[in-house]
């Protein structure tokens, strides 16, 4: 693969990174690359046993810790943030996500994809932001192009649940969140950068959450074999957004065939993901739903 590779990651000795959803797939590959370059990586995971198993595969010279975090529970998010204390965070990587599950709700009653992929990370980021010194990288998807923010029914309480549309809305929310976060950081005089990335089509277990054997075979077994790049390849856009010289609110993805694979590069987002008014509206709605607001932060 030409272009950016893990060999281009600088020495991260002394830097602390949080990676959500780091027990498998792209999150685990991201954690591996960062520890290999000296970072201290916090694997924020729902399942401690799976987290410990994943942590055992991480290379040195960096170090790692496993901490429990369930993004589908605001109490879990708040507990994780409370336990953080005053340690600086060089990188916060919002990687965890769910994809096209059957109709499901979070512990707080939100539609599972919107609640986990967006609201959980929204709350986590704002609660940890006073400690962040470098970047916030949020993993979206090019499926955001099919998403639409239905502000009258964000949680699919009145209309018929459509898993792909709900997924697209949650991934569109990731990009609107990134844009508004960067706007607020800039306005506050902060040097912290908000970035977004998408993995293209990567061979992970994310496609195995639909509850449909046909869907899992088509997207997982068959799609992974014929079209997908490896999980390690899918992690490269996240890593590129985390360490490369890019402006805030950059969106990074594979530059190869149909944006599904290939070396990472800055890429375009949909018109809907560039709607500043929608980004501000989503932020205010998210504050109301989670009870978490943008913190007062020192310039840095």
Look up tokens 């401690």; give the residue: 48
**Cα-trace Rg, the chain:** 18
Counting every residue written for the chain, the total comes to 300
Maximum Cα interatomic distance, the chain, rounded to a whole number of Å: 51
What is the spatial distance between Cα 19 and Cα 30, in angstroms, rounded to a whole number? 8
What is the spatial distance between Cα 46 and Cα 116, in angstroms, rounded to a whole number? 12
Catalytic (active site) residue 167: yes
What is the spatial distance between Cα 35 and Cα 138, in angstroms, rounded to a whole number? 19
SS3 199: coil
SS3 299: coil
Q: Point out the catalytic residue in the list 161, 167, 201, 240.
A: 167
Residues involved in catalysis: 167
């Amino acid at each position: 693969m030409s272009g950016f590779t893990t060999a281009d990651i600088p020495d991260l000795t002394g830097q602390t990174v949080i990676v959500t959803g780091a027990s498998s797939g792209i999150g685990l590959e991201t954690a591996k690359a960062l520890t290999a370059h000296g970072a201290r990586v916090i694997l924020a995971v729902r399942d401690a046993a799976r987290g410990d198993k994943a942590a055992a595969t991480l290379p040195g010279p960096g170090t790692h810790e496993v901490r429990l975090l369930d993004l589908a529970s605001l109490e879990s998010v708040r507990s994780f943030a409370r336990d953080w204390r005053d340690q600086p965070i060089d990188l916060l990587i919002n990687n965890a996500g769910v994809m096209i599950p059957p109709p499901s709700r979070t512990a707080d009653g939100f539609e599972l994809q919107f609640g986990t992929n967006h609201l959980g990370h929204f709350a986590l980021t704002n609660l940890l932001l006073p400690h962040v010194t470098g970047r916030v990288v949020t993993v979206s998807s090019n499926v955001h192009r099919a998403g639409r923010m239905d502000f009258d029914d964000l949680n699919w309480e009145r209309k018929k649940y459509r898993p792909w549309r709900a997924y697209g809305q949650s991934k569109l929310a990731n990009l609107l969140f990134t844009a508004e976060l960067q706007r607020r950081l800039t306005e506050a005089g902060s040097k912290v950068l908000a970035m977004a990335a998408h993995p293209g089509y990567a061979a992970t277990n994310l496609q195995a959450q639909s509850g449909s054997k046909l869907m899992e075979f088509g997207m997982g077994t068959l799609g992974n074999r014929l079209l997908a790049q490896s999980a390690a390849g899918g992690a490269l856009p996240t890593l590129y957004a985390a360490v490369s010289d890019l402006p805030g609110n950059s969106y990074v993805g594979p530059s190869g065939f149909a944006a599904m694979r290939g070396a990472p590069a800055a890429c375009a987002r949909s018109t809907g993901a560039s709607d500043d008014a929608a980004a501000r509206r989503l932020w205010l709605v998210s504050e109301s739903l989670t009870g978490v607001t943008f913190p007062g932060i020192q310039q840095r």
